[in-house]
Each structure stands twice: as structure tokens, then as C-alpha cells.
Amino acid sequence: MRAFLAVSRHLNFRVAAESLHVAQPAVSRAIKTLEEELGFKLLERTTRRVELTPAGAAFAQQIEQAFGQIHQAVRVARMTAAGLAGTLVLGYSTLTVYGLISRGVVQFREEVPEADVSLYLMSSHEQLAAIGRGEIDVGLLLSAACDDSCQHQHLYRERLVVLVAKSDPIAKRTKLSMKDLREIPFVFGSFKRWGPFRSVVDSICLKSGFLPKVAEHGDDMPVLLRLVALRRGVTLFPASIVDSLPPDIVAIPLRDQHAALDVSIAWRNGQPLRLVEKFLDSLKSVAAQISPSR
């Protein structure tokens, strides 16, 4: 078939033979054998020129496509064996979606273009369980949730901001301290879905001498933001959300240095897959660009 493709491209037996680094009679014999096997003529040959028959032209087009697919299959298989292709299944937390995750995936896809990424929104605890069951390869979660059930590595620390309704008088403040929030109601996700974050927030509040007064719960981010906009309470969230806030909510920085959230990446115990290692490198690169003062 390679001999036929060479002739179909050049329409010249001598040039085709030279491109294949074989003698011209070998090309002629190969095509004659192929025509006998197929049962129809592929080429019309005269002393002056060579032309494809209609069947030969159709056959050449299909063979070209088939060879292209074979070459692509070999290339992808080699890259997969080297850990540079395949599908990476990634779990992520709502608290990480506005910062690292999108930039990390974009950089990873640029560095490993043959790889696909499947993304699943999960709580931190759900990610740990999914990693253990082999349902996801990597989890991007709160450091407070990490345990010995999987390997994990700290990525970055991000400052928290106070999300307040724009119509709330407190929204005029340019900065707040945690102590300023002592008597103000909060809205948060439930402990069932937001347990690690709630524990982090409680710890931050306790350092300022109080526990938050929770007025409402909203596990989904749109619901949580709506509760804030309706002035049912304020909430704390990583500063990376600032550029994505709706116009009726403002973010106020906190003076307290301890009002921050640590984010880690987790994967199954044992040596990580090469694709996971490449993704770790991409995330670390992006994480290094995140300022701890945000």
C-alpha cells in the first residue's frame, strides 16, 4: 500500500521508487500484487503518463486517511506511555474555583496539549473519598481536610475577604477587622458540605474572641451570594472571587493576617502517574504567582 500511495502522490513510478528508496520494478510488482488482491485496477499506465482510475483515486484517499489515523494512534499511544496524554480526572472545591483551578488547567493544557481534563465540583471530604476509590486522579481542596488516606501537598495560602451587600452601611468601609464582625450575622454553607471551611472560619473567629452568629445556610454559591445580597448576613470567602462578584455585593479586605485559607492538592497514595506529576508542576507554577496578601 505504501508503494501505491507513493505512486498516487507522484503519478510517476521512478519518482515514487526514489521516495521509497527501492528499485522501480519492486514498486511495479507491489502494485500489480495489490490490484490482483483487490480485484480491480488502481492505475492506468501508458508510456507517457500514469493516472489513477476512479476506484484508485477513491482508494488512495481512504488509505491516506487511514495511514494518518494510524500515525496519530501511534503518537498518542507513545505519549500516553510517557504520561503525556490521556484524561486527568480532577475534583475541586467551590473555594478554589475562582483562583487557581482555571489558570492551572489552562497552563496544563498548554504544556500537555494531548491530555484531556475532566472536572468535578466536590466538597473537600468528597474529594478524599473519590481519590480513595480511584474515581478521580487529583483533588484541589482545603488543607484542613487533608489526612493520611492520600498524599497531599500544600499549594498556597489565600487571604479571606468579607462579602457584604452593597446596600449595607458596612459596605462603605475600606477595611475591616474580625472583631468588627462580632455582632454581625453570617451566612455560610452547611457543616455537611462546607465542614473544613466552617472549621477554619470558627478558628479564625475564636482568635478574635467570638464564634460567628450564623443566620442562614446556603450550600450552593449562587444561593449564598443571593443571601448576602438580600442582607441576610455577611460571609467570608477567598479574595480571588473579587473579580467575579455580582454588582450588588462588595468585598472588604480584612486586616487580620490570620484570616486566610490554605489550599492543598491531593492524590492517591503511592507514586503519582506521570500525567498527575505534570499537573502538579502546572499548579505549583500558577500557585507561585498567587500573592499571599490577596
Taking residues 230-248, report their average pLDDT: 95
Fold of 87-294: D-Maltodextrin-Binding Protein; domain 2 (3.40.190)
Percent of the chain at pLDDT above 70?
93
Task: Report d(CA 95, CA 68) in Å as an integer.
Answer: 44
Q: pTM for this one?
A: 0.69
Which tens digits make up the pLDDT trace of 169-220?
999 999 999 999 999 999 999 988 899 999 999 999 999 999 999 999 998 8
When comparing pLDDT for 146 and 65, which is higher? 146
CB atoms within 10 A of CB 289: 10
Taking residues 211-234, report their average pLDDT: 94
Taking residues 249-272, report their average pLDDT: 90
Burial class (CB in 10 A: 0-12, 13-18, 19+), 15: middle
The pLDDT of residue 193 = 87
May I ask the CATH class of domain 2-81? mainly alpha
Sequence spans of domains, the chain: 2-81, 87-294
The pLDDT of residue 231 = 96
Q: Is 90 exceeded by the pLDDT of residue 253?
A: yes
CA distances from 133 to 137, 149, 161, 225, 274 (A): 10, 11, 35, 33, 19
Q: Is 70 exceeded by the pLDDT of residue 72?
A: no
Q: Is 60 exceeded by the pLDDT of residue 16?
A: yes
